[in-house]
Every structure is written in C-alpha cells, then in structure tokens.
Chains A and B, each alone.
Chain A
C-alpha cells in the first residue's frame, strides 16, 4: 500500500514535468508543423542561465525568471533566424535543422558552462512530506512542480480560449492563408508560438533540475519522454499532451518501482511503438489521419 502510494506520487510529479515538456512540443508542432528536437537543449541552456544567476547570489525565483525570460527570447530568435528561412520548402528541412541545433546547443553549453555535473538548488524542501507518522514520496518541491505546471497550463488555456491574441494564434496555426486574409500577422504569431513553447520548455527544465544535478545532457532523456507523451496525446492536442504526460509519468514510475528502473527507457519506447501501432493518431484522435 505504501509502495503503491509512493510510486503513484512520484509518477504524478514526473508526469507533470513530462506534460509541460510535451505541451511545448505540441505548441510548436501545431503552429509550424515542426517536431522541435532542439527543445531539450534549449531548456538545458536556459536552466544553465538560471544556475548562473543563482550562483551569482540571486534567489531561486530570480533564477526561474531568468530562465523563463531567456527561454522566451531564445524561442523567438530561433524561429526567426533559423526555422523561418527554411519554411515553405520540404517539411523535413526544419526537422533536420532542429536536430542540428540539438548538437550545436549541446556543444556550446559544454564550452560555456562546462561539461560536468553541477547541483541545482531547490525552491522548497526535498524531503518527503509527513502524513500522520509516515513520510510519503511527495516533497514540497514536488508539490510546487505540480502547482507551477498547472498554473502555466491554466494561463495558456486562458490565452488561447479567451483572448483576441490567442484567437489570432490559433487561426494562424490552423489556416495561414485565411488568417492572413482576415488581417492576422501570421509570422508574428508563429514567432510568439515558438517563444511560448520555449518558455514552457524552460519551466520544465528548471523544475527537473531543482534539487538535482544539471549537465549539458541532463534534458536528453526528457525529450524522449516528452515526445512519447506528445504522441500519446496526439501531437495536435494540448489537452492530449497533458494527459499523455501524466499517463507516461505514472506508467514509467510503476515500471521503475515494480519491475526495475533500468527498464524505464525501454518501457517508454514500448509505449511509443504500441501507440503508433494501435492508435497512430494518439489516444484522443477524433479524426482519422489528416494529410496536411
């Protein structure tokens, strides 16, 4: 019973981080039809920015703010400078470019921040909460992780559903030409989409790093899990990506807790293959495959 509870709690916390990361991938995919493989190293770089700020004497919160701000800028710059010029050609061009960015950002981070493990502070305690006379596997930092992801998701939902800007962004993502005819500046909306995605990715990066170690490769496994979560949710659906993240987090936690932690990456890939075989459109697909 104790183990079931703890495994679930660990899975839930992890699931929220995967959900945030999957959401970042979905935001980019929806607006520009690019699977952004560079999302992980982008988040890694902004997490290092946060670490530098914190080690410079600032609070953890200022570090988080620095990571989010630099994420916003990095996303916008990469969309304008790197991805935009190859859009309009074959879709594979941009995907290959993001793979290239993956390698470049990795190498740059190793040069600038050093290729070793550095510890990243946590905003709150990292010891399990005490419930009655037992300690459960949910830390105050874990609670904060869940709350932070929920708040960001609520803000994104509010942006997309209730504001004119969100409506413009959705129109630009769904139908560029019609959006242009209705006066939407599609280019700006795509830049903003990348910036927001990068911000959400940066949040995931800082949350994973908190109370743990960072290193130029520390996000690499997360990109795999985030991608599996996004595919699980259908790649096109922000809600799907969140549910996908939670399902994946819980599944992997159970595999780790009951089968063996060395099987976690294998289990993630197994889930990916199963989803692609059984429901290629994701768990929430309502339409059959759509050619875009």
Chain B
C-alpha cells in the first residue's frame, strides 16, 4: 500500500437504535480507486454502516476518516460537499421530480448550480456526461422519475450521485430487485467508472457472488461485527466463510 491515506478509514465504529447495538467496533478501510464490498446476511448491519458513514445516523463511538480527514459526526447534508455520495437502498429517486431535476439536484451538492438552459457551463457538461453514460435517461429527461422502471431508477440515482463529482461512492444494494442482466450492466458501469476516473466505491451487497466478481476487497459483517476482511478473490475461494456467511 502507498503512504497516501485510504479513501475511507473506519476505526472502532459502533452504532445502534435504542437498546439495540447494530455495529460493534467496526474497523476496516477502503482503498483509493478500488471497489470494497461489504457483505453479510440481512440484519448484519450493512445499511446501518452506510447510514452512519454518511451522517444520517449518529455513531456511538469510533471514528471515520475520508481521505485522511476526520468526518466523524459531520451531518449528512455536508458530506456531499466533502466528496462522499451515498446512494441509499431502494433507489432513492425523488419520484415527484423529473429525471433532469433529479440530476440537477445531484450537482447542487457541491454548490455549483446546474442550469440546463445555459449551454456550455460546467454544469451543462456534467448533464451531457450523465446522459452520455446513461442514454436511457436522456430519452426520459422530462418524465417524472416515478414513471421509470427499477433498472432506470438505479441508473438515475447512480448518475445523480456522479453529478456531485464524488471521490467516494457508497452504494447500498444496487442489485436489489433487478434482473440479473441489469445488475451485470450496472456493476460493469461501476467497474468502468473506477478504472477511468479513479473513483473509490464502497459497495454493500447481499448478493455476495456478483459483488465479489467486481470488488477488489471484501469485508464480511455478521451481527454488526467484522468477521473477515480479505482480497475479493481470497474471500470467493474460502468455502467455509462462503457457506457460513455469504450463502453461495
């Protein structure tokens, strides 16, 4: 590993809801320009981990560093400006807004307004780039986001997250409820973004097999504790771990 700080360094992070502790002193890091998969069964604490990292949920203990900068306790609305984009589970499109309004909103996170009617500005370029990456969205730009299919919504939230030009992307269950062909398409796209733009990705997945096929590294959670933190191919070959926690 190089001396540069990791994209994300989590140390001793604990969080919970009332009397329930969902995360027990979770420690791991996510490398720059890499895809780190967080795996585990339902209820392992994966979503709570992402919500705590992005400031939607308050940590009880521990620290979080984003590119070497302490961001523990920073509220969610400021994280976008610090280069972290969290794509929540269940798509997270704002159904009442149009496709283009969702995308414009994504760009506002960095404080640079995107005005679609002013051609040539940086914001307009970002919109063009989003439509080039996801031609499906270009065809539906005026449509209400609520009219999109599940796969199109996943593309929209991905495109919206990229509008903020994040350095670290937190993806929560992007494969949930999607056809295998679309899952493969989305994972391939994430892979390309990482390779071409140096984006770092923390990918939370219940679908361990697909996740490990694109990830560089895998962290396995069980009942809120880290039970494995290995290179992805090592995890995929570890029969015991696979049977015990990953279900394939």
Residues of A within 8 A of B (CB): 164, 167-168, 170-171, 174-175, 177-186
Contact = CB atoms under 8 A, between A and B. Distances in A.
A270 B108 CA distance: 46
Nearest to B170: A181
Which of A168, A179, A182: most chain B CB closer than 10 A? A182
Which of A164, A175, A177, A184: most chain B CB closer than 10 A? A164
- Chain B's interface size range is 20 to 34
B56 A171 contact: no
B96 A183 contact: no
A181 B76 contact: yes
Contact of B105 (A177, A182, A186): A182
A185 B109 CA distance: 10
Interface of B: 54, 56, 75-81, 85-86, 88, 92-97, 101, 104-106, 108-111, 113, 115, 160, 164
A280 B63 CA distance: 50
Contact of B88 (A164, A170, A178, A184): A178
Given A180-B56, A184-B108, A171 B80 contact: no
Given A167-B108, A168-B105, A168-B108, A180 B77 contact: yes
A177 B97 contact: no
A181 B108 contact: no
A182 B56 contact: no
Instruction: Enumerate the 5 nearest inter-chain pairs by beta-carbon distance, A residue then B residue, closest first.
Output: A183-B109, A183-B80, A180-B76, A164-B113, A174-B96
Nearest to A170: B97
Contacts of B80: 181-183
B104 A182 contact: no
A181 B92 contact: yes
Given A171-B97, A174-B96, A183 B88 contact: no
Nearest to A178: B92
Nearest to A188: B77
A178 B86 CA distance: 9
Contact of A171 (B79, B94, B113): B94
A175 B109 CA distance: 15
Contacts of A174: 94-97
Given A178-B92, A181-B85, A185-B77, 16 more contacts: A164-B104, A164-B108, A164-B113, A167-B108, A174-B97, A175-B94, A177-B88, A177-B92, A180-B77, A182-B105, A182-B108, A182-B109, A182-B164, A183-B79, A183-B81, A183-B111
Interface majority SS (helix, strand, loop, mixed), chain A = helix
Contact of B106 (A182, A185, A186): A182
B34 to A, nearest CB: 22
Contacts of A183: 77-81, 108-111, 164
A177 B85 CA distance: 13
Contacts of B81: 183
Which of B88, B94, B109: most chain A CB closer than 10 A? B94
A184 B54 CA distance: 14
16 contacts: A164-B113, A167-B97, A167-B105, A178-B93, A179-B94, A179-B105, A180-B77, A181-B54, A181-B80, A182-B108, A183-B77, A183-B78, A183-B80, A183-B110, A183-B111, A183-B164
B77 A184 contact: yes
Given A164-B113, A167-B104, A168-B105, A181 B88 contact: yes
Contacts of B86: 181
A152 to B, nearest CB: 23
Contacts of B88: 177-178, 181
Contacts of B92: 175, 177-178, 181
Nearest to A164: B113
Given A167-B104, A167-B105, A181 B97 contact: no
A20 to B, nearest CB: 23
Which of A175, A177, A178, A186: most chain B CB closer than 10 A? A178
A170 B96 CA distance: 9
A140 B148 CA distance: 49
